[in-house]
Amino acid sequence: MRTISIQNEDGNQIAIQAFPIDEVGANERADFFTKRSVKKDSKLSALYLALSMCDLTTLEGSDTPGRVQQMCAKARFPVPPDLIEPYLIKRKAGPIPSVAAVCVYPSMVPIAVASLKGSGIGIASVSTAFPSGQAPLNVKLDDTRFAVENGATEIDMVINRSAFLSGDYQQVFNEIVAIKKACGDTHLKVILETGELGSYDRVRLASEIAMEAGGDFIKTSTGKINPAATLPVTLVMLQAIGDYYQRTGKKIGMKPAGGIRTSKQAIQYLCMVNETLGPEWLTPHLFRFGASALVNDLLKQIFKELTGQYYYDKVFSID
């Protein structure tokens, strides 16, 4: 283990531990969760929980106001109430939850704000020259302030991977601190882009820097790079969160993003969170899925549990 020295805003040195990760052990431990299954009423509860943790996302150059409005309508009402109400009554099940947040580019934040007014659904916006992070700091700060001033309740920033991979950890730290300050009270999710970091050791170190710099969440990926979220990478980040909590008493959230497409996968992640950090983290306040493709499969599986039959995907909308 080596120690990285970072200087904070007060000029004091912060010692960040660079833990070596047993890659074989992490892979084997993560594989253990792929063998988990949840049945009957517990499965329906898990599906509901996973849906409530999703950030419904559109981050394309072809995004239009209409597309964002359609996504926001789906966020508020994942399925038409009259389609599911009889089955909910029959099963004595609660209403299907809305998602935790929608995630859009800063320019689309005003559209999302207007569409979700009064819903309680979070409005996340990617920032800091997403997805590359290759822009001057003043541009990244302007990007962040624009989103916050227009109503974003969460900011998803990308770290400076160029600086990180060059060993300039101080610059990575300083940029996160500056973005956090620009966020004010808005929650900050720090995207590591783990697919570009190259090793579990670097994922662990990037997680430590992001948490020490003030990130409220750490997030695997932008969804634009493969590999994106994986169980082993998420496990490494969850363990970093657990160790940070033991040291500081501060709970940091986790968001795996990209590549999680099925309900079965989502439940595996929930099992891993529960066994690594405990049930306190099984809440949208501390755990999210950045996986829009996951939403339709969750709805499909919820319908299967409620009605005994599968509905075709177009019932839930084509995204």
Q: Note the pLDDT tens digit of each residue in 221-270.
A: 999 999 999 999 999 999 999 999 999 999 999 999 999 999 999 999 99
Residue 74 catalytic?
A: no
pTM of the complete model: 0.94
Instruction: Give the whole-number percent of the chain exceeding pLDDT 90.
Output: 78
Q: What is the pLDDT of residues 266-312, one digit of tens each?
A: 999 999 999 999 999 999 999 999 988 899 999 989 888 888 777 76
User: Any residues with CB less than 8 A from the CB of 222 and at least 6 apart, and which?
Assistant: 126, 130, 131, 158, 191, 193, 228, 257, 258
Q: What pLDDT score was predicted for residue 89?
A: 67
Residue 201 catalytic?
A: no
- From 156, 180, 216, 300, active-site residue: 156
User: Any residues with CB less than 8 A from the CB of 39 and at least 6 apart, and which?
Assistant: none
Beta bridge partners of 126: 156
- Cα separation of 38 and 235, whole Å? 20
Q: Give the number of residues written for the chain.
A: 319
pLDDT at 318 over 60: no
pLDDT-derived band at 79, boundaries 50, 70, 90: confident
The whole-angstrom distance between residue 197's C-alpha and the CA centroid of its chain comes to: 18
Give yes or no for a cis peptide into 20 (omega within 30° of 0). Answer: no
pLDDT-derived band at 317, boundaries 50, 70, 90: low
- From 55, 219, 297, 300, active-site residue: 219
- From 74, 180, 189, 255, active-site residue: 255
Q: Which CATH number describes the domain made up of 39-316?
A: 3.20.20.70
Residue 156 catalytic?
A: yes
- Cα separation of 310 and 118, whole Å? 32
CB 50 within 8 A of CB 263: yes
pLDDT at 47 over 70: yes
In this structure, the number of other CB atoms found within 10 A of the CB of residue 61 comes to 5
Q: Where are the domains of the chain?
A: 39-316
Question: What is the torsional sign of CA 161, 166, 169, 174?
Answer: negative
Query: Regarding beta strands 101-104 and 253-255, do their DSSP bridges make them parallel or antiparallel, or are they unpaired?
Result: unpaired
